[in-house]
Structure 1
């Protein structure tokens, strides 16, 4: 009787804890979702802003990479202004300047390069001063505002290319974005404490307690049957001996 009452009390306590955690984690889930949504909105808002050093007065004509590529062998006007972007291939430090070679990509509204598996080609930029290759690493996204100068002949492997060249007035090195896996992991961390997480863990413990008690009862029942069988065998044996 005492064992039955204890088991019943344990079940009641577990049920109360489960309900408490369910209520608590509904609130956690609510704030986690709101926090993640706010984070996404802040990211979108941040991405839509053009860096100050890359802004130009309204109405300023900017020449696209594609239009320059079509007339690459022709001399461009000295005041041809461009705002391009891409991913860094290499950085070469010259005596007074640094040369950056980039794979060109179209720009978002923020002027950040839209990196994809398609590109129209490459270009080079010249920046006054020293740029550390450990910071301006291969694969990082960079945007530039500057004027066109004479194209340069170069190679990619054994293939010769004519590179459009930009004298940089300003450059912007973009922060690395989180990968899809990192975003999923972040979502998982925010949602890890949702009700089902605790419910599953508590459910396993509840099942374990029930299963343990059930095994104890089953063992007692088997023991009783075994004892009854033993008594029956003893009685039968004794009767045979009398006969």
Structure 2
């Protein structure tokens, strides 16, 4: 039990400290336009480099390129989008070539690098929407992960002189999926599954 918990925690620690994937790395010091600045100062930001990510809300293959509509989420230090119940907006990405919708499914997390190309009008349902737009030079599709939260650990200290230590009387562990099978444009918070160690 302890070994499994240690391995899961170690895997999470390693993943959290991981570097940005090679596909979406940019030269150090490259100035990047933020989503907020692109949306509010579009004319002055056209042509600047960007690295944005989020959750796929829509994918459409055209004759020579694919258009993705993405719900924007801020990026972690390793380039992976965060997730939550709210987003500050959406953006469109134009990618050259064909992207299979069965692979790049609605609800999957992606990160893109490319050039900001301005804003364009469109619809979200029947609502008029202005989308900041990227011409993608590279992209990365993130794999599903599980997060492990050790919310309550009670361990008695080891007695060096007697060589005796009692067992921890209980341990609560919550395992939740990252939730990539999401409805379009939403990231929901999964319900935790509680595993409790026996007191005996």
TM-score (norm 1): 0.60
Q: Could you say which residue in structure 2 is the equivalent of 1:44?
A: 13
1:131 to 1:34, Cα distance in 2 relative to 1, 3 A:
same
Consecutive unaligned residues of structure 2, counting only runs of 5 or more, are 148-173, 178-191
Q: Does 1:58 align with 2:28?
A: yes
Q: Deviations over 1:141-171 (max 9, x none)?
A: 1100111113211011221111111011111
CA distance in 2, matches of 1:145, 1:111: 10
CA distance in 2, matches of 1:64, 1:142: 17
Q: Could you say which residue in structure 2 is the equivalent of 1:84?
A: 52
Q: Could you say which residue in structure 1 is the equivalent of 2:78?
A: 110
Question: Residues 89 and 102 of structure 1 are in contact (CA less than 8 Å); yes or no, is this contact kept in structure 2?
Answer: yes
CA distance in 1, matches of 2:83, 2:33: 20
Question: Residues 97 and 128 of structure 1 are in contact (CA less than 8 Å); yes or no, is this contact kept in structure 2?
Answer: yes
SS for the counterpart of 2:88 is: coil
Displacement of 1:38 after TM fit?
Answer: 2.5
Bigger drift between 63-72 and 86-95 goes to 63-72
Consecutive unaligned residues of structure 1, counting only runs of 5 or more, are 1-31, 197-243
Q: Where do 4+ consecutive residues of structure 1 move more than 4 Å?
A: 179-185
Displacement of 1:75 after TM fit?
Answer: 5.0
Q: Could you say which residue in structure 2 is the equivalent of 1:99?
A: 67
Q: Deviations over 1:161-198 (max 9, x none)?
A: 1111101111111112237655765x84xx77x683xx
Q: Does 1:135 align with 2:103?
A: yes
Which has the higher Rg, Structure 1 or Structure 2? 1
CA distance in 2, matches of 1:146, 1:75: 16
CA distance in 1, matches of 2:89, 2:133: 12
Question: Residues 88 and 100 of structure 1 are in contact (CA less than 8 Å); yes or no, is this contact kept in structure 2?
Answer: yes
Q: Deviations over 1:22-63 (max 9, x none)?
A: xxxxxxxxxx21332222222221233211111122211111
Q: Deviations over 1:86-139 (max 9, x none)?
A: 100010000011111001011111111111122111000011111111111111
Q: Which has the higher strand share?
A: 2
1:70 to 1:105, Cα distance in 2 relative to 1, 3 A:
same
SS for the counterpart of 1:57 is: coil
Q: Does 1:156 align with 2:114?
A: no
How many equivalent residue pairs?
159
- Cα RMSD (Å): 2.2
